[in-house]
Amino acid sequence: MRTDYIGNYLEQKASQYLRTLNIRLPSDLNIERIFTLENLDYRLGNASSYIVVNEYRLITINKQKTPKQQHFEFLHELSHNHFDHHKYLARCDNFEQEACHFSLYLAVPIHMFQFINFESDNLVQEVSDLFNIPEEIAYQRLQNIFDNCNYYNIFFTRKKNIRSNRRSYYGN
């Protein structure tokens, strides 16, 4: 992976946040480690949610979900915590969107791209396993990385080059 991938503002913030928690390896991205570091209470329940009562903060994750889904839903609830969304009186539609994007960036943060073989034919499956996230989430994140690479005009695979060249042919 090229090291010149920049990513958008929120993507950089997600990576920065994890680095301040000293989360450097994909295996560091585990629920127990994060809720301990963030001083959150965590438990399995019937639904995924983020609850705040005064100083007490609890993340509940739906126990019926698969381990990969649980991991990703945890990152989603963690995003609400990170942005202190509970402090705003009116719930804003943007909060949900912000948490959705941020959790995607937390799931596969920029500073861990070095562990991904972007040339692999089995990329989605590998990212899903390495980062313990559902395949559809891995796909979504990869799509999003490729889109950003196009945006910044950075090519990191030959395939990508061909696609981007084709795009520029149409004037994009």
* Interface with Zn ion (CB under 5 A): 99
Closest distance to Zn ion from the beta carbon of 126 (Å)? 27
Closest distance to Zn ion from the beta carbon of 99 (Å)? 5
CB of 29 or CB of 99, closer to Zn ion = 99
Residue 52 DSSP SS3: strand
Token pair of 128, please?
């899903």
Place of tokens 């609890």: 58
Closest distance to Zn ion from the beta carbon of 74 (Å)? 12
CB of 81 or CB of 132, closer to Zn ion = 81
Closest distance to Zn ion from the beta carbon of 144 (Å)? 18
Token pair of 74, please?
């945890």
- Helix 135-151 with 158-169: angle, nearest 10 deg: 60
CB of 23 or CB of 99, closer to Zn ion = 99
Q: How far apart are CA 115 and CA 34, in angstroms?
A: 20
Residue 3 DSSP SS3: coil
CB of 44 or CB of 47, closer to Zn ion = 47
Q: Are 46 and 40 in contact (CB under 8 A)?
A: no
CB of 61 or CB of 99, closer to Zn ion = 99
Nearest 5°: phi and psi at 115? -90, 0
Closest distance to Zn ion from the beta carbon of 85 (Å)? 8
Token pair of 127, please?
């990212």
CB atoms within 10 A of CB 135: 13
